[in-house]
Amino acid sequence: MEIFKIDRISVKNFKSLADFEISDIPMFSCLIGINGSGKTTLLQFLDFVKSLMNGNVPQWVNEQGLNNVTELLTLGGERKYSIDIEIDATLGEKKAFWKAKFNTREMRCTVETLREGVVEYRYESGKLNISEPDKKIQVIDYGPSNYSGSIFSFRETGFSKFIRQCRFLGVLDPHAIAQSSRVAKAQSVSVESNGRNLSGFIAGLSADNQRNLLAQIQNFYAPLKAMEIKRQQFGWKSLLLSELEKSVFSATNLSYGTLRLFVLLSQQFTDDKVILFDEVENGLNQELFEKFVAKLQNYGEPKKQVIVSTHSGLFLNYLTDDQARSGVFFLYKDKIGHTHVRRFFDIPQMSEKLNVLGPGEAMGDTDLIELSDQLSD
């Protein structure tokens, strides 16, 4: 089975990620830490990188509720107007490395290097050099092209396609999840970061995938009997459901937790390679955690990389010790508000606790505020 995954992320000058690096990221990982430690910021950063490869930075900035892209820059110290980015990735049998400098004044990456297998791309001053073994260097002069984001937003490579196949789901809005979607004929839609367009997305799934999704949701929510998409005038589509011995009802009548399950489980059927879930446990009953953690560790076919943030120690209890050691990352801030990361169970006192406690019990037995202070000294 080919693996597509992000292996390493390095970023400078993005919000609290002033000089941040996380490496050896496994196929399933959990971000933990106190409120405001930077968990959401890290996931948002990956969504920002996706916007660079989509070439829609102004739209993305507007969707974040920001007035200006400079609001993404780290506060304090010497004011810089660029964001430095490095990402290592595995693309099937190839390794990739991308380095870029995003200029907030020009709204694009002014310098980029991409190594993808044996091919290397270098972009600077409007010129893209492409080199590979035993071939003459190819030079493409784009001149003063008018674009936002990355040069690879229109010069597609395996890496740029991979980054566009990252899906970020943040704080899900129950009203957005349950509302009807308007979809043009033969158009496919994606679920947005707040859960909007779920009904339109499900309508675009094959009949087999719709049945598979229903069966998986029934595994978590047994009363659910049937699911259908009601097609209305002008391309509107609504999600209708029925429970045992009950008539058909709209998704607007479902609980927040069940609506979240629809969204979280539905993304297995996308072409996306990396799924990012913020505050993944919100709205879910604790008795579902064991099955849900098992599902996240084998998410999609082929298997997708999953990165989640969580506040729940119980959620971690369903990881093996080896999974916890490799995949639980503790984010914390230093005295000036910059985010750093450590593997949680590489911290000596946490490693000792894991010898006698479960991963979640070890987390619950630890004052995370005090631990953050110790690590930031």
What does the DSSP assignment read for 266-295? HGGGSS-SEEEESSTTTT--GGGHHHHHHH
Residue-wise pLDDT for 207-219, tens only, equals: 999 999 999 999 9
Please give the single-letter amino acid code of residue 33. G
- Note the Cα 269 to chain centre separation in Å: 16
* Cα(103)–Cα(228) distance, integer angstroms: 47
Determine the average pLDDT of the residues in 245-268: 80
Q: What is the pLDDT of residue 112?
A: 98
Residue-wise pLDDT for 90-104, tens only, equals: 999 999 999 999 999
Q: Is residue 88 over pLDDT 90?
A: yes
Task: Identify the H or E element spanning 240.
Answer: strand 236-243
Are 237 and 230 in contact, with CB atoms under 8 Å apart?
yes
How many residues in total does the chain contain?
377
Q: What is the pLDDT of residue 239?
A: 80
* Cα(192)–Cα(206) distance, integer angstroms: 20
Task: Identify the H or E element spanning 341.
Answer: strand 339-343
Burial of 325 (C-beta count, 10 Å sphere; 0-12/13-18/19+)? middle
Determine the average pLDDT of the residues in 241-260: 73
Q: Is residue 1 over pLDDT 90?
A: no
* Cα(255)–Cα(276) distance, integer angstroms: 22
**Residue 126 DSSP label:** T
Q: What is the pLDDT of residue 160?
A: 97
Q: Write down all domains in the chain, each with its CATH number in brackets.
A: 4-165+271-376 (3.40.50)
* Cα(177)–Cα(188) distance, integer angstroms: 17
0.75 surpassed by pTM: yes
Determine the average pLDDT of the residues in 318-347: 97
Return mean pLDDT, the chain. 92
Please report which confidence band the pLDDT of residue 233 belongs to, taking 50, 70 and 90 as the band edges.
low
**Residue 162 DSSP label:** H
Q: DSSP 3-state assignment of 29?
A: strand
Residue-wise pLDDT for 134-185, tens only, equals: 899 999 998 877 899 999 999 999 999 999 999 999 988 888 888 887 765 5
* Cα(355)–Cα(132) distance, integer angstroms: 49
Q: DSSP 3-state assignment of 52?
A: helix
Please report which confidence band the pLDDT of residue 268 belongs to, taking 50, 70 and 90 as the band edges.
very high
Q: Is residue 186 over pLDDT 60?
A: no
Please report which confidence band the pLDDT of residue 250 belongs to, taking 50, 70 and 90 as the band edges.
low
Please report which confidence band the pLDDT of residue 234 belongs to, taking 50, 70 and 90 as the band edges.
low
Q: Is residue 282 over pLDDT 80?
A: yes
Are 93 and 131 in contact, with CB atoms under 8 Å apart?
no
